Structures are given as C-alpha cells and as structure tokens.
Amino acid sequence: MTTNTRHLSWLVGAASLAAVLLLSVPAHAQLTATVDRDVSAKTGSDSECGMAKNPINPNQLFAFCNTAGAGMLAARSTDGGNTWIYPDPTDKTIADGDPGQGPASCCDPSLAWDTFGNLFITYLNTNATTVEIILSTDGGATFTNLVTFAGSVDQQTAVVANTTLPGAPVMIQVVWNQSGAMVGRAAPVTGLGAVGAFTALQSTASSGISFGDVAISPGGVVVQSVTPSGGQTGGNISIYRDLDGTGPGGWTGPIVAGTTNVGGFDFIPAQPTRSVDPETGLVFDANPTSPHFGRLYLMYTDELIQESNNLEIMLRFSDDNGATWSAAQRVNDDPTLLSQFNPKISIDDPTGNFMVCFHDCRESPGNTAMREYCTAAGPNGPAPMFLPNIPVGDGLSTTNSDGFDFGDYSGLDYSSAIGHPIWGDRSNSTGTNPDTSFDAQTDRVSGNVPVELTNIQID
Amino acid sequence: MRHGWAMRGVLTLAVLGAALVPAQAGDSIWGKVTAVKEPTLVTLDYGYGSYEIRLVGIDAPRAGEAHAEEALQFVSDMVLNKNARMRLHHRDLSNNEMVCRLITDDAVIGMKEVGVELLRAGLARRQSGYDEKYGELAAAENEARQAGRGLWAPAASK
C-alpha cells in the first residue's frame, strides 16, 4: 500500500466514523436555554451563589448569594425558576440581623435540599468564626437555626443524599476548612424537620489545602476533593473518604485523583484581582437502573500549559468510590486558547444525567469577558459524551475591578431534567441591573440527555 | 427637619457605600506569620510558600511618624511567629500585593482581626470603602476616637 493510498484509506475511515457519529447523535440532542432572569436586581454586587431545587416539588427553587452590605441575598421561586420572590422583600436579604432569618452572616453560601423537603442553608457568620446552618421546611419562606460550629473556619459546604445506611434514609454531611485542615460532621435525617445529632468533629489531618467539593454515595460513603491552597501552579487533586458515613470512623486518604496546574490563587485576565482555583466538583450517579450506578464524577479546572491562561474544564470518573480514577477528558468544546473557569457540576439523581456549567471567555479575544456556558452528559457509554456546549448567558460580562471579580464559584442545580445555573453578571442583558455591579443571574437549561449513541461502527 | 435631611444623607451614603463594596472577601489560607515589616504589611508562610500581606482598609503611621513604632510592636505582639489566616480581599494590581483580612488563630489570643484591633487601639486610620458588611472598621475607629487612644489622644489629634 502506498503512502497516498494509506492516507486515502485513513481519510475515508475517519470520514465514515465522523458520519456514523453524527448520525448516531439524534438531531434533538442539544441543550437549549431561555432568557436570563435577574434574581437580585439591586444595587451592589451579588455573586458566589448557591442554587437548590426541592426534589419533591420541582417548582420550588432557592438561591442564596454573597451580597454587598449586611446579610446575604435570598430569593425563592415557586414556578420552576421563571420568576423570583424574596423571603424578606424589604431588603432581599436574610441572615442580616433581622429576627427569624438566621445569625448574621459574612458570606460563602451552600445549599442542600433533601427528599423530605428539608432545605439546609449554610454560611459563615459575620467574622468567619462559625459555620451556621439554618433550616427551612417551607420552601425557603421561613427559617430556624439548626446548628453552629465554631472555630477558625472557612469553605463550608453541606450536601444531602438518600442512603442505605441504617437509620439514615437521608444523610447530611457538612465539611469545612478549620485552621488549614478539612473537617466534617454528619447527621441522619429521618423526616421533615427531623435531623438527628451530628457526629463528633472528624478531621482529615490535612494541611495546606483548599476545599473543592464533597459528595455522598448511595451507600453512604462520603468523598471530598481538595487541592493545594495558594500559589499559581497547582498540584495534586487529593481525595479523602469517610467510609462509614454517619458512623464513628473518620477520613482516610489522601488518594491522588490527578493533578492540575491551576493554583489556589491563580490570577487570570478575567479574574485579575480575585484569582481562580481549580474549583473541583463531585457528584455520584445515584440511579439504581443506571449502567453506572455508583459512579463518581470529578470535575475541575486545569491549565494544560502552566500560566498560559488557557484554562479548561476537565472530568474524570471513578467506579470504586474514589479509590482509582479514569483518564481526564475535556468538557469544554471550544478550539480557542482562552479561559473557562468557575465550573459547577450537578446531577439529576433519578436519571444519572449530569450538567456542567462554567464561565467561558471563548468569545473574548482579550480573554477578559465571559459568558455562561453549559453542557450535559448521561451515564450511557463507557465514558461520558457531552452534548455540544451552548451559550446560556444572554450577555458578556467583565470584572468591575471591585476586587472580587466574579467570586470564587458559581451555582447550579440540575434536576427534573432542567438545569438552573446562577452566576454573577454585569451584562445587564435583562435591563434590570440598576448599577454597574454584579447581579445574580440565572436561566433554565433543558434538552434531551443522555446522548444516544447507537450503531457505532469502527473499522 | 434637619434630622430628616441628615438621615436621608446618611442613608444615601450607606447605599452608595454598599454599591462600592464588593460582595465579600473569601477563601482563607492558614499559616504562620514570619515577619512584620510594617504595621500593615506582614509575611505569612503557609507551608508551600509565603505571601506578603497588606491589611485591608487601614492606614497606619509610617516609620518616623508618631505612633509608628507602637503600631509595629502592637502587630508583632499579636501575630509574629503565631498562627493566623489570611482572607484574600483582592490583589492590588499596582504592586501585586495581596490585600487581605488577617485573623489570628492562636490559643491565647483567640480569633481577632488584626486590622480591627489596630484601629481599636488607635494606632491606625480606616480607609473609605472597605468597611465590610457591618461597619466593623468604623466602629473600632470610633471606639478609639472616643476613648482618646493613640492617634486620637487629645495632644496627638490637634
């Protein structure tokens, strides 16, 4: 076979494979977004939002964000995220010192909504010396103080999951960074408003690390991911595991899941004063009928060439609760050398389909203006195959140089087949932003997931 | 009537102030303070590296000015060779300094924000636009002013 013949044969083969792949992706395999909604629509910056949907009433959503001034932005929806109202319409905030709205807050929201209807809301107190957890059992209309954990604390996150653990049909796990080490407490949940005692403090004995994310397996194994704190060059993505959930056993690890070149304070053109970090995210496939029931997905930001500012969103998965990991695959599909950052992953528990949304500078030659993009994948196939990335935000946003840029993270809930990303936005695409600060903006993202790949023939 | 105008003015300033203040500083790094170079400039060693940290929102007397040595000693007593954490507020693009809140993490001292304590001792003045969410800097400075401490001592404030 001559060289030319071999090239021709390869080209024909590649073209055939491409055609088969294209034909095998249904024409409807495409996410779509609607028009953006401005959740905050007020003066001052709102960013670093959490978003949660009630698993037993998908019309109910709750958004919770850092905000300028006292308290934190709190908004809820009763129509699936089409319109937003406020528990306290006078100032659109809670945890601001007003009675019945939780202890006064500094920042750093995290939300978790369980299948009993309990909405757990966590944040740091005014001077970041306590982790506060408040509870709403009426869709985010009213709140009661649940528990306070004191210490030199930061980066707290709460997650919930249905488990098979004895006495814990639902489990809440809270983790946070305390004096440089990741620690956690867990509690069983047995009904609406019925939260059991939290375990004693369990420490990873880690140091010099920054929290990424935490997830609970269907069997009650808790997995958290951490990355190096500080610096611009990154390092290992480490996994710690609590194998007995609400039991007395502590954290084991670390297990190295991979590496990233994104440091704990990595400055990029779009975030020149605040910086970004790897923003690892973890979700478990909790659908018993999924071909990958129990699979754990790890999403993170990497910079394949150190200090190139070409940040990519990457994904790995594990089929043994984080003990071993797949090779990395890229989530964003742009051909540019521009930044994708502040990603968030969320999984639709009944299906195992999952969505990833992120800030994307692919339309900004200067690498400074971002638009929110999303993609999704399902549990079919040996490895996830993502739908084409779609632009979700209706406008491009740049930092306003107030020091905080877009914040450290964005929010996303993907359940009942609809994704609800939320991010800090200055585009004023809605015409409702009263100033040049960031407003909390959201959208509804849906489409047919998973991608149905059939009739693949590779010769 | 005058009180009404004054109140409206205060509220207007508060709203404008809130509009200028970022959502909030975040993400702590814990380490040990290995040097106090100025009352508002310290070195934090976090194990894998170190940062030069400028305390956010305050101005302290410079070397040679009144109370400069006292301010330097005050900060040294609070943090030098002790555990502390920085919460990044922003990077100063003019000089790449990490502008942070610095909070002690010490069994004896407890958890105190160094900048606030410096203001409370009357050894610094607050800058505008950095008063966080609940007016902590203003409250500490007002306390020092009313008590006549340091920079606000009757003789010094003339």
Question: What residue segments make up the domains of chain B, in order of their start?
Answer: 23-146
| Contact yes or no for B49 and A230 at CB 8 A | yes
**Closest among A438, A392, A400 to A35, alpha carbons compared:** A392
Determine whether the interchain pair A208/B111 forms a contact, defined as Cβ–Cβ distance below 8 Å.
Answer: no
User: Which residues numbered 114-143 in B keep a CB inside 8 Å of some CB on A?
Assistant: 133-134, 136
At residue B157, the pLDDT reads 52
Q: pLDDT at residue B4 above 90?
A: no
CA distance A167 to A86: 35
Chain B residues touching A47 at Cβ < 8 A:
23
Judging contacts by C-beta atoms under 8 Å, the chain B residues touching residue A107 are 23-26
Q: Does B27 touch chain A (CB under 8 A)?
A: yes
Q: What is the pLDDT along chain A (459 residues), one digit of tens a residue?
A: 344 444 444 444 444 444 444 434 444 579 999 999 999 999 999 999 999 999 999 999 999 999 999 999 999 999 999 999 999 999 999 999 999 999 999 999 999 999 999 999 999 999 899 999 999 999 999 999 999 999 999 999 999 999 999 999 999 999 999 999 999 999 999 999 999 999 999 999 888 888 889 999 999 999 999 998 889 999 999 999 999 999 999 999 999 999 999 999 999 999 999 999 999 999 999 999 999 999 999 999 999 999 999 999 999 999 999 999 999 999 999 999 999 999 999 999 999 999 999 999 999 999 999 999 999 999 989 999 999 999 999 999 999 877 789 999 999 999 999 999 999 999 999 999 999 999 999 999 999 887 654 433 333
User: Which ranges constitute the DSSP H helices of A102-238?
Assistant: none
Q: What is the pLDDT of residue B129?
A: 83
Query: For residues B29 and A264, is the Cβ–Cβ distance under 8 A?
Result: yes
CA B74 to chain CA centroid, Å, is 13
DSSP letters, A174-192, are EEEEETTEEEEEEEEEEET
**Chain B residues within 8 A of A66 when measuring between CB atoms:** 23-24, 26
Contact A111, A52 (CB under 8 A): yes
Which residues touch A353 (CB under 8 Å, ≥6 apart)? A347, A376, A377, A378, A379, A414, A417, A449, A450
Reduced to 3 states, what is the DSSP secondary structure of residue A55?
coil
Judging contacts by C-beta atoms under 8 Å, the chain B residues touching residue A275 are 88, 91
* Cα angle value A352/A355/A327 (rounded, 5°): 80
| Residues of B with Cβ-Cβ distance to A229 under 8 angstroms | 29-30, 46, 48
Query: What's the distance, CA B103 to chain centroid?
Result: 10
> What DSSP line would sit under B42-80, residue for residue?
EEEE-SS-EEEEEETTEE-PPTTSTTHHHHHHHHHHHHB
CATH for B23-146 is 2.40.50.90
% of chain A residues with pLDDT over 90? 87
For residue A108, list its beta bridge partners.
none
pLDDT in the model for residue B26: 59
- Check whether the bond before A421 is cis (ω within 30° of 0): no
ipTM for this model: 0.88
Contact of B95 with chain A, judged by CB distance below 8 Å, is answered with no
**Cβ pair A66:B90 closer than 8 A:** no
pTM as predicted = 0.90
Are B81 and B32 within 8 A, CB to CB? yes
Which residue from A minimizes the CA distance to B84? A179
Using DSSP, state whether A422 is helix, strand or coil: strand
- One-character DSSP codes across B86-120: EEEEEE-TTT--EEEEEEE-BTTTBS-BHHHHHHH
Instruction: Considering only CA atoms, give the Rg of chain A.
Output: 21
